[in-house]
Chains A and B, each alone.
Chain A
Amino acid sequence: QVQLLQSGPEVRKPGASVKISCKASGYSFQNYYIHWVRQAPGQGLEWMAIVNPGVGSPTLAQIFQDRVTVTRDTSTSTVFMELISVKSADTAVYFCARSHGSLDGLDFWGQGTMITVSP
């Protein structure tokens, strides 16, 4: 069955970096886009990035272009998202999700990774 398994919770101090992962299984990894979406406590969903695992070149939301890096490892069907210079406003649950086409709905989601930024 399709599964997106994300890495565990992280705690960082302001200014630090954090890298989380999303391991795909149960489908052809290179045939589906992977998105990153975050949700601050009590808030709505915020789209961050999309990557085509077969090609590797991500597209980032403008507000994240200077702080987010998305990479993938096709040998382990894993996508990584690194966020640098974190601040308290980055405290959120970060989800990965897949879509068949870049414009399509996100049909499977990971369980989410909580990133807490605290002094």
Chain B
Amino acid sequence: QSVLTQPPSASGTPGQRINISCSGRPSNIGTYTVHWYHQVPGTAPKLLIFSDNKRPSGVPDRFSGSKSGTAASLAISGLQSEDEAEYFCAAWDGSVNGHVFGTGTKVTVL
């Protein structure tokens, strides 16, 4: 069961900027860093952002993460058709001693 809340969908036209929110609790986002993954249907998730705002090697700087209090956000600027995927946030949760994932947001490029 997902503990972090995300909007079910987000959309934009090519070149636009979109934001995806991730709402948590003091025991997870309020204390620990947030990570973001994207997943194309039928494939494994891929790490997009780690430790709130860091990008793994190879991830374009169009993707950026931020966090404030118990909420985090992923921004995708210069939206491209290949950005169509599902996006999940995640964080460690001290109250359950494990990772928790967000509910997922499906991004559509119009």
Contacts and interface: CB of A to CB of B under 8 A. Distances in A.
Contacts of A104: 35, 50-51
A84 to B, nearest CB: 20
Interface residues of B, number: 26
A62 B95 CA distance: 11
Contacts, number: 67
Interface stretch (B16-24, B40-48, B77-85): B40-48
Given A107-B56, A109-B44, A110-B44, A47 B50 contact: no
Interface residues of A, number: 24
A106 B100 contact: no
Interface of A: 35, 37, 44-47, 49-50, 59-62, 95, 97, 102-107, 109-112
Interface in B1-54: 1-2, 32-33, 35, 37, 44-47, 49-51
